[in-house]
Amino acid sequence: MKRIAAVLICAVLLISVCACGNEQKKVTSYEEVIIKLDEAVHGMFADDFEDKLKEGAYPSPTGELSDKWLTTLLDAQKDFPNVDENAFGYRMIDLNSDGISELFFMRSDERVLAIFTMYEGKPCMVDCYSRSYRGIIRDTGEIYTMTVRDDGGYDYKIYTLNPESGGMYNTVSFGYEGAIAYEQIDGSVYTTSNDRITELTTSYPFEMSEMFTSVEFKLF
């Protein structure tokens, strides 16, 4: 009888341990991402940073967008005078009101460097930015990007975060392909007038949301 009781107790303990393990797997956290971002920021100020970066040091914290991430880190210090480790940090805010906060890798001048969200219980990188590709947050919670094109034109795009895919879907697009003005409507691209582009840039000013900037900026 005692043996049976002991076996039952062990079984209960084993089930409890397994249950705890499953609960731990469900816990979502950006802790590891923040540690990797911290390491990359401190690495920026070493003389051999670019060499190490090109050799594979400081890879994408979550594995996505590796090539874009390389450009993000290479450009992070440019056009920013008197930069040091205290110029980099992060904000956390629930962008699409789904109960899960997104992580924003930032410079202290409000330049967004990367956006991370949770997808299937793990952090993933939504997008990252550089000198020629910038991103801001609108009051609506949308992600608004501006790309300087190689042909001299530019693209403005507005995205909504999609929690079902861990990515974004495009809702508004307009700009110039070289000297040709265009606007995307219902998935199709149409040429348009300069006046229309002026109207669109007035309707969608490329300005960071005060709601976003009011959230605490945390240093690493």
173 in any annotated domain:
yes
Residue 10 lies in a domain: no
Give the mean model confidence (pLDDT) for residues 20-49: 77
Q: Compute the distance between CA of residue 137 and CA of residue 206 in angstroms, rounded to an integer.
A: 9
Look at residue 28 in the predicted model and tell me its pLDDT. Answer: 55
Residue 138 DSSP symbol: -
The number of domains in the chain is 1
Contact in structure between 29 and 118 (CB atoms under 8 Å): no
Does residue 58 lie within any of the structural domains?
yes
Rounded Cα gap, residues 97 and 77, in angstroms = 32
pLDDT band at 163 (very low <50, low <70, confident <90, very high): confident
How many whole angstroms separate alpha carbon 50 and alpha carbon 59? 12
Whether residue 124 is contained in a domain is answered as: yes
* 92 inside domain: yes
Residue entry with tokens 């009781």:
5
| Cβ proximity of 135 and 212 under 8 Å | no
pLDDT value at position 220?
Answer: 87
Say what the pLDDT of residue 71 is: 95
Summarize pLDDT for 183-210 with one digit per residue, the tens. 999 989 999 999 999 999 999 999 999 9
Residue 154 above 50 pLDDT?
A: yes
Write the CA distances from 35 to 42, 66, 102, 118, 219, integer angstroms.
11, 18, 16, 16, 12
Q: Is residue 147 in a domain?
A: yes
Q: Is residue 12 part of a domain?
A: no
- Within a domain: 55: yes
Q: Choose between 26 and 216: higher pLDDT.
A: 216
Tokens for 61, please give them.
């914290």
CA pair distance 149, 21, nearest whole angstrom: 49
| Residue-range definition of the domain harbouring residue 144 | 29-219
